[in-house]
A and B are shown apart, each in its own frame.
Chain A
Amino acid sequence: MKKKDGKRIGLNVIDVVIILIILCVAATIIIRANISDSIGLSSQSETAEVRFLASSVEHSASDYFRGGDTVYYADSGKELGTLTADKTIVPAEIIKELSDGSIVKTESPGADLVDLRGSFTSRGIFAQDGSFWLDGDTAFVPGMKIRIYTDRICSEVTITEVRKSSN
């Protein structure tokens, strides 16, 4: 191919590599968009209240769950939202096997360990089936165990409830 003034233009190896990379990225975006469509994600971001249970945490550590702190998802480092001031602390429930083979539920002696119930608000998308998606690619549903952190504490928690926030 020649320009009018006779100079040749053409692709070099680097150009070809760049074009291939762009095509791959475009294909990934298209496929990802199809997955979002197939699970019925709306495009509108909403605020959810995500309630969680942190089991058997040190009593002293429970002080570091503070309302207003930003919460991050340890798997990806993504910002999840903001801890609320709503917090309930009770002595940790412990399941214990006795020597006769029976199983009892008891509380942590001296309340050294506690079960902490709290919540954080998070922006995401509710799918048509009611499931909540952070950034449209990570589903948060009750029963999930996730690792979260703030600038004060890191902990594994179990999600117990997800509902649309009234705020």
Chain B
Amino acid sequence: MEEKKKAFRFNVIDVIIILLVLAAVAALVYFLFFKNDAPSSDRVYEVEFVIESKEIRNEFSGLIKQGDTIYDMNTQRKLGEVINAEYVDSVRKTFDSGSGESKESRVPDMLDLYITVRADDVRLTDCYVTEGRFKLIVGNEAEYRTPSFSGRGTLVSVKIITK
């Protein structure tokens, strides 16, 4: 005996559901892979910025070298190229309770690290941003890595090289 199967047809509700799912997927793809903060121009800038990392252990001295590529640890996107890495004796602001004066004191066996980075694919949105959307603003915190070292620091200088 043949059983006549009912043909499955689209109705209005099905169409609405499909459109909603398509819109959700399109929005997800856009925000994950294509969203840029609204650019004010298509111009590309070359920017030099300096990241300061305080109180690095002595044993990590010299691990970052000129020419290393430096990445944002959170997005794994490139921040730029290291053009200088300067290691200096670490100092900390302290207070002499006897004299009542503040002073700078050397922190034993620790280093402060200043990494100068050149980024050549910077765009201007509400501020200068790298290709990975890292904001080049003095005071911005950076979690970074190079092939040989990972650390945290603060942007202390941003200089526009070419406009």
Cα-based distance from A103 to B17 in the complex (angstroms): 66
**B contact residues, total (Cβ < 8 Å):** 43
B96 in contact with A100 (CB, 8 Å): yes
In the bound complex, residues from chain B placing their C-beta under 8 Å from that of A97 are 92, 94, 105
Cα-based distance from A104 to B109 in the complex (angstroms): 10
Majority secondary structure of chain B interface residues (helix, strand, loop or mixed): mixed
Q: Which residue of the partner chain, among A8, A99, A160, contacts B59 with CB atoms under 8 Å?
A: A160
Closest to B151 in A: A143
Q: Which residue among B18, B29, B108, B110 has the maximum number of chain A CB atoms within 10 Å of its CB?
A: B108
Q: Which residue of the partner chain, among A10, A102, A127, A141, contacts B149 with CB atoms under 8 Å?
A: A141
Is B140 part of the contact surface with A, judged by Cβ < 8 Å? no
A12 in contact with B8 (CB, 8 Å): yes
In the bound complex, residues from chain B placing their C-beta under 8 Å from that of A10 are 7-9
| A/B interface sample: 13 pairs, CB < 8 A | A7-B5, A8-B7, A12-B8, A13-B18, A95-B107, A97-B92, A100-B98, A103-B107, A131-B147, A131-B148, A139-B76, A139-B145, A144-B145
Q: Which residues of A contact B (CB under 8 A)?
A: 7-8, 10, 12-13, 16-17, 20, 24, 27, 31, 35, 39, 93, 95, 97, 99-105, 127, 129-131, 139, 141-144, 158-160
